[in-house]
Amino acid sequence: MSGILDGKVAIITGAGSGIGRAASRVFARERARLVLADWVEAGGNETLRLVQDLGADAVFIKTDVSRWEDVKAVVTKAVATFGRVDCAFNNAGIEGESAVTHECSLENWNKVIAVDLTGVWLCMKAEIEQMLKQGHGGAIVNTSSGAGLAGVRGMPAYVAAKHGVAGLTKAAAVEYGRHKIRINAVCPGPIRTPMMARLLGERPDAEQRFARGGPLKRLGEAEEIAEAAAWLCSDRASYVTGVPMPVDGGFMAQ
């Protein structure tokens, strides 16, 4: 049985946990061939095992997306292993330390921007370069955030980076549409992931109180973001480009 990504070669960054791991499993189910990248080697290798158990043809490469040499190595690995790059989900990211704007440290600012914004740009730079060489187009999905569409207290670097990802997505979509390269972003709302667990902290009622603020009255699941990313990477989204798509249970509609 074929899937919506049948035979496509897909890069997924941040594949070792959370949304990246869920996306790896969904892309595997949809029959993509996978190049998985993550900074945490143990998590990346565990995801590799999971998708191989699902029958996926996949490889893992340890990657710091803030380093050009690492990002280039991911694309090189994809081409050496599978011959091309058809689509990519640039998902790697960190939340950084919690602090209001005037108390945000320069170290935290630089680290979050390096991973969450510069890392996405570097991935796009390498992926687009390869897609242009191939001459057959492609699809790229970046992970922005609800915090890339609205302000959030206590996370100035994260909010700035995710707004930057949304803008970068639009700019690149305009630049490369004529080359049949579609570029979109997903903007997750509150999703049940390790990152969200860290943000909510040790407060048993925090998740319920947070969930009550949205129309669907629940947190989202990582798989729900993964499904959106898989669709945007597929030919079923062939007329969709330049969209920072909220996948947030209606939070941004309020």
**Residue 159 pLDDT exceeds 80:** yes
pLDDT value of position 78? 98
Instruction: Choose among 246, 240, 247, 249: nearest CA to 215.
Output: 249
Kindly state the average pLDDT of the residues 164-174: 98
pLDDT value of position 203? 65
**Residue 166 pLDDT exceeds 90:** yes
**Residue 190 pLDDT exceeds 90:** no
Kindly state the average pLDDT of the residues 174-192: 95
Q: Identify the three-state secondary structure at position 96.
A: coil
pLDDT value of position 211? 76
How far is CA 233 from its chain centroid? 12
Give, in order, the Cα–Cα distances in Å from 249 to each of 57, 140, 152, 233, 254.
33, 23, 17, 21, 11
- Residue 62 and residue 39: Cα distance in Å, rounded? 5
**Residue 150 pLDDT exceeds 80:** yes
The model's confidence at residue 1, banded by pLDDT at 50, 70 and 90, is low
The model's confidence at residue 14, banded by pLDDT at 50, 70 and 90, is very high
**Helix 41-53 / helix 18-29 crossing angle, nearest 10 deg:** 20
pLDDT value of position 204? 60
Over the chain, what is the mean pLDDT?
94
Dihedral angle sign, alpha carbons of residues 17, 68, 142, 129:
negative
Percent of the chain with pLDDT over 70: 97
- Return the number of other C-beta atoms located less than 10 Å from residue 145's C-beta: 28
CB 78 within 8 Å of CB 35: yes
pLDDT value of position 50? 98
**Helix 18-29 / helix 222-233 crossing angle, nearest 10 deg:** 50
- Residue 225 and residue 227: Cα distance in Å, rounded? 5
Q: Tell me the fold of 9-253.
A: Rossmann fold (3.40.50)
19 Cβ contact list (under 8 Å, min separation 6): 91, 143, 188, 191, 193, 222, 225, 226
pTM given for the model: 0.95
Runs of H (alpha helix) within the chain: 18-29, 41-53, 68-82, 106-113, 119-134, 156-176, 194-200, 206-211, 222-233
Kindly state the average pLDDT of the residues 30-52: 98
Kindly state the average pLDDT of the residues 46-66: 98
Kindly state the average pLDDT of the residues 136-142: 98
pLDDT in tens, 192-235: 877 777 766 656 677 777 778 889 988 899 999 999 999 999 99
**Residue 146 pLDDT exceeds 80:** yes
Parse the chain into domains and list their residue ranges: 9-253
> Which own/partner pairs from 196-200 qualify as long-range (CB within 8 Å, at least 24 positions apart)?
198/95, 199/95, 199/98
- Residue 194 and residue 222: Cα distance in Å, rounded? 10
pLDDT in tens, 76-96: 999 999 999 999 999 999 999
Enumerate the active-site residues. Answer: 144, 158, 162
More confident residue, 239 or 218: 239
pLDDT value of position 213? 80
